[in-house]
Structure formats: structure tokens, C-alpha cells
Amino acid sequence: MEPARFVLHHAPHSRAFRALWLLEEAGAAYSLVHHDLSKGTQKAPAFLALNPGGKLPVLLDHGPAGDWSAVVCESAAICAYVADMLPAARLAPALDSPLRGAYATWLAYVPGALEPAMADLMFPRQSEPPPLALGWPRYDAALRRVEDALRQGPYLLGEDFSAADILTGSLLQWLQAWRKLPESAVFDRYLAALAGRDGLRRAQAVEAQLLQARADDAAHTAAAAGGDVGHSATTAA
Ligand SMILES: N[C@@H](CCC(=O)N[C@@H](CS)C(=O)NCC(=O)O)C(=O)O
């Protein structure tokens, strides 16, 4: 069997889910390298050679003919990269579309403003930083901007789903799970629209399978050790 074009370094329940969802939406051929963040496989020298930051996700692209070795780090960059590399998947507005402006804005806004604002909320600082020096607004303002952009819907850019929805939607899904998303019919409608997507369901099924395999492994290890529970083995970098 031919090796898949894309290889995703992934760990369940992490930002790597964005890349997994993206590859499923794109219908791309990919394989996974499994990491276990609790075991620190993302700090192994072989992985640090790909991403010196030691963070997931990382995407390798072997190219259409299998003769490239492109490495893409940062989930937003992976979204932009795959959407541009696989235009037939229509995960980005065409280069000559005016929607390109909003698309580029959201790809940068999520990691550059919404995520830092969310981190401020989850992990408050000892002292208030000067707001003029920060590149992002307070959490409520950051979120309101997303809500306003979604009022027309169903997606950020209107009728067409794009890679920007994967970045934004995956963050909103987390916030909802952590009960940090304010009551909003707009967010409810958006999250319901995302939940109905086959690409998201397939990505969730892949993660569920991985988690089950990991739990089974742990149970076997525990049984073999006479009840001493260990962590499951993973395919580390
Ligand atoms: N800005 C990066 C953040 C990646 C990130 O923080 N990944 C976390 C998992 S959600 C990670 O790999 N943490 C492991 C570590 O820091 O050792 C992106 O969006 O890709």
C-alpha cells in the first residue's frame, strides 16, 4: 500500500484535533503518529527536530508525488496550508474572492486574540497587564467579536464552511465543555451546525478509537502486573 501523503503527529484531547478534523474534512490521505503528552513523547529528540517547540500538532506533507518532506507546525498554519494545498476540498475561499479578507482575519484572530484571551480567563495573572501593550482584548470582548461575526451564519464566512471554522469551532467546543461559553443562541446554532458535519464526526470517531485502544492497553498492562496500573504504550515520535 502506498504511504499516505500526510502524516499527523497527534495526541487525543489536544489542539491536534483541529488538524485531524481538517484532514477528515479535506478527505485527505493521512496516517497518525501517536503521542502521549503525559509521557512527554513530544519532547523526544526526533520530534524536537520537527518542532523545536515540542508541541502538537505537527503535519508532515510528502507531497502529491510522495517526494516532499515539508513540515508544518502550529495548528492555524496547518489549517491554512492544507486548505491551500487541497483546493478541491473547498476549505478556503478562492484566492480572488473578497471573502479571503475575513478568512485571513479569522485564521489569525483565533490563535492571536481569542486563544490568549481564553488563557487569561482560565489562568488569571497576578497583576493586570497594561491593555495597550497586549495584542488581544479581554475574553468577553474577544468572544463577542466571534459572536457578531456568526450572527448571519451558518458559518464564519456565511454559507461556506472553511478552515477558519475548524480553528474557531474547536475552541468554542472546548469552551462549552469547560462551561466558559456564555448562553447564546448564536453559539448554539453554530455549534449545532458544526456537530452535523461528517468530517467532525469522523475525526471524533478516530479519537474515540484511540482513547479506547489506550484504555484497553492500560487494562492489559494492569492485569499483567497483577493490578499495578501503568500507562499504555504509544507510537512515540
Ligand atoms: N500554538 C500551538 C499550540 C500547541 C500546543 O500548545 N499544544 C499542546 C497540546 S494542546 C502541547 O503539545 N503541549 C505539550 C507540551 O507543551 O509539552 C498550536 O496552535 O499548534
Domain annotation covers residue 211: no
Ligand 1 centre and the CA of 37: distance in Å? 10
pLDDT digits (tens, 9 = 90+) for 57-99: 999 999 999 999 999 999 999 999 999 999 999 999 999 999 9
C-alpha distances (whole Å) from 159 to each of 99, 154, 165, 215, 224 are 11, 6, 12, 40, 54
Atom of ligand 1 nearest to the CA of 15: 10
pLDDT digits (tens, 9 = 90+) for 142-181: 999 999 999 999 999 999 999 999 999 999 999 999 999 9
- One domain for residues 80 and 106: no
User: Ligand 1, closest atom to CA 55?
Assistant: 12
Query: 47 CA to middle of ligand 1, Å?
Result: 13
Q: Per the domain annotation, does 48 fall within a domain?
A: yes
What domain count does the chain have?
2
Q: Is residue 19 part of a domain?
A: yes
Residues 84 and 119 in one domain: no
Kindly state whether residues 191 and 106 are assigned to the same domain.
yes
- Give nearest CA residue, ligand 1 atom 14: 55
Closest-CA residue, ligand 1 atom 5, reads 55
- Give the residue from 90, 124, 146 where a domain finishes: 90
What are the distances in angstroms from CA 18 to CA 127, 133, 148, 172, 203? 32, 29, 23, 12, 9
Please name which of 228, 232, 194 lies closest in space to residue 216, comparing C-alpha atoms.
232
* Average pLDDT over the chain, rounded to an integer: 94
CA of 187 to the centre of ligand 1 (A): 25
The answer to whether residue 111 sits within a structural domain is yes
CA of 97 to the centre of ligand 1 (A): 32
Residue 213 falls inside a structural domain: no
Same domain, 191 and 117: yes
Let me know if residue 221 belongs to a domain.
no
65 occurs within a structural domain? yes
Residue numbers of the domain that contains 176: 99-195
The answer, yes or no, to whether any atom of ligand 1 lies below 6 A from the CB of 35, is no
Asked whether residue 222 is domain-assigned, the answer is: no
Same domain, 147 and 123: yes
Q: Are residues 65 and 103 in the same domain?
A: no
